[in-house]
Structure 1
Amino acid sequence: MHDIASSPENFIPHVKRMSTSIMVTLLYGKPVSDFGDNKHLLYYFDAMKKFIELTDPWAHPPLDIMPILKHVPARWVRWKGLCEEAKRLRGAFFDDFTEDFEARYRAGERTGSLLEKVLDHPNHFDVVIEEIRGMSRLLMDGGVETSASYIQNFILALACHPPCQDKAQAEID
């Protein structure tokens, strides 16, 4: 709220940073307090833009229907480069957070994060470290974009409908 109050014109990056920070804190036990120079966030959001572009159903060939297209050289098709770039950016984001978390975990630092709980009870969850890393990536992807989109749309809806703002403010008061 402080970020939005101090620079409301940047509410979209503020909401994205907040939703990312919540998920990183829940999973890895370390908040992301600044959007500006944080290369981790920039990697993640650049990768998400590329993934969104890759999932556009009309932008790329239907590989499920024509699997032979998988063998077309990357220099002739744009989507293969997008895939590699998104993979590289996601790897940079997740590898840095995972390595930092694993070092803190080995050092005995505890924050109560989800990944700590899973690692503290290996017999209960019956997963290997690669499955834990994959799980954290899926949870990040599911939690960050959906939360940020919801909150951004909520803010826009309130901005477009001042009577709703007044009613909400009255209820809060």
Structure 2
Amino acid sequence: MTVALEDKAVIGRRVEFAYYRDQDVYLPGIITALTEDVASLRIRLDGARSNLAVRPDYEHLRYLDEVGPVPDLPMGRFTPTAADFDGEYAGIPVVQFEEGETVLLTPDNSKARAALAEFAEDMQIAPDYADPAGLVTRSVVFEWQPEDAECPWLMDFADADADHAIQIHYLPA
């Protein structure tokens, strides 16, 4: 007896997914929704905050036997990692917002300066825009946003004793 693809494509089914560019690396995930479009499966890879739109017959999608509840998307305040930012420079997570502000996830001034220099060089940012003299230490909180929000998370300045507040270095635009 063969099982039809439609029978396997159910919300809550665990899957393994590989991108075309890296077909040998299968990543675990879960089906979170079914839609009426061609890419009718929505799959959230483990550790990700957004869904992929995937055709149910995609050749690099493996359906697993396990079916269970779809985990809630983490919400609220959190401490980011390099994966949540633009990457790591001199060992420090760094992100630059569209407005040009740069955040370096460290309270250490010398580490922030080294990360800023490496980031500016890598991104080919003019020295006058990445002047370490403009770095200020701030306390901030990061908060996850809903999956359909414009940004996956927001950063707000906060008092040092606020819940989940961390100290960062900030370079205004």
Report TM bin, short chain. Answer: under 0.3
TM-score, normalising length: structure 2: 0.23
* More contact order relative to length (CA 8 Å, sep ≥ 6): 1
Would you tell me which structure has more strand in proportion to its own residues?
Answer: 2
- Which structure is higher in helix share? 1
Could you tell me the TM-score, scaled by structure 1's length?
0.23
